[in-house]
Homo-oligomer: A and B are copies of this chain.
Amino acid sequence: MNKEQEILAAALKLFVEFGFHGTPTSKIAKEAGVANGTLFHYFKTKEDLIVGLYNHIKDDLNRHLSETQKEKDSLKDKMKNLYTASLQWGLVHKPEFYFIQQFHFSPHLAKVSPEDIERQTRLHLQLLREGVTGEIFKPFPEQLISSTLGGHVYGVYQYLLNTELTQQKQDEIIGQTFELLWDMLTK
């Protein structure tokens, strides 16, 4: 791992544990095994580091989710794969998932550029549009379906996070809750 990645990894670990406030850049540098100055060589400011870490994680997640998409799958299968992969990635990458949410409720969110946002939501938006224009979903506004979907994933994630289940039980829950979600949203 190069120094930039070491810094990102250290920042993630400390931000999740102590919050943005509670984490001085000096501690991040120390945890990463680099000098103070090195951190500011890669990230002009602390805020730059925070936003950079967010984009780094989001792109990583997005790359992973994209890999689950196969052209020839039905919409339902594509969405199920997206749903499943999201939850599984979140369970494997707990600090990353927590950080995303922590970031979403911070003033730093406003610093994410529109291009970054577009790139990070393209995949979801595309599937959603497919379902809306194909009249697969119930006749609700696209935004409402999107929000409901997001909320559902969030809720199920919280459950899976707080109950230690075997991989098999986990997959079972994911499958069942997807069906609930699908039945709720489609005609």
| Mask: chain A, 155-171; 1 = CB below 8 Å from B; 0 = not | 11011001100000000
Q: Is A121 an interface residue (CB 8 A)?
A: no
Given contacts A17-B107, A105-B98, A107-B17, contact A143 B155 (CB under 8 A): no
Q: Look across to chain B and name the residue whose beta carbon is closest to the beta carbon of A176.
A: B140
Kindly state the separation between the CA atoms of A147 and B156 in the bound complex, as whole angstroms.
6
The count of residues in chain A whose C-beta lies closer than 8 Å to any C-beta of chain B is 41
A149 to chain B, nearest CB (A): 7
Main secondary structure on A side of the interface with B: helix
- Copies of the chain in the assembly: 2
Q: Tell whether, in the assembled complex, residue B143 and residue A107 are in contact, meaning their CB atoms are under 8 Å apart.
A: no
Q: Look across to chain B and name the residue whose beta carbon is closest to the beta carbon of A146.
A: B159
A101 to chain B, nearest CB (A): 5
Which A residues from 91 to 132 make CB contacts under 8 A with B? Answer: 98, 101-102, 104-108
Question: Hey, which chain B residues are within 8 Å of A181, CB to CB?
Answer: 184
Q: Look across to chain B and name the residue whose beta carbon is closest to the beta carbon of A163.
A: B143
Given contacts A19-B107, A144-B173, A183-B184, contact A158 B151 (CB under 8 A): yes
Q: Tell whether, in the assembled complex, residue B155 and residue A107 are in contact, meaning their CB atoms are under 8 Å apart.
A: no
Kindly state the separation between the CA atoms of A162 and B148 in the bound complex, as whole angstroms.
13
User: Contact residues of A with B, CB < 8 Å?
Assistant: 17-22, 98, 101-102, 104-108, 140-141, 143-144, 146-156, 158-159, 162-163, 173, 176-177, 180-181, 183-185
A32 to chain B, nearest CB (A): 20
15 contacts between A and B (CB under 8 A): A19-B106, A19-B107, A140-B176, A143-B159, A143-B162, A143-B163, A144-B177, A147-B156, A147-B159, A148-B155, A148-B156, A151-B153, A151-B158, A152-B155, A180-B185
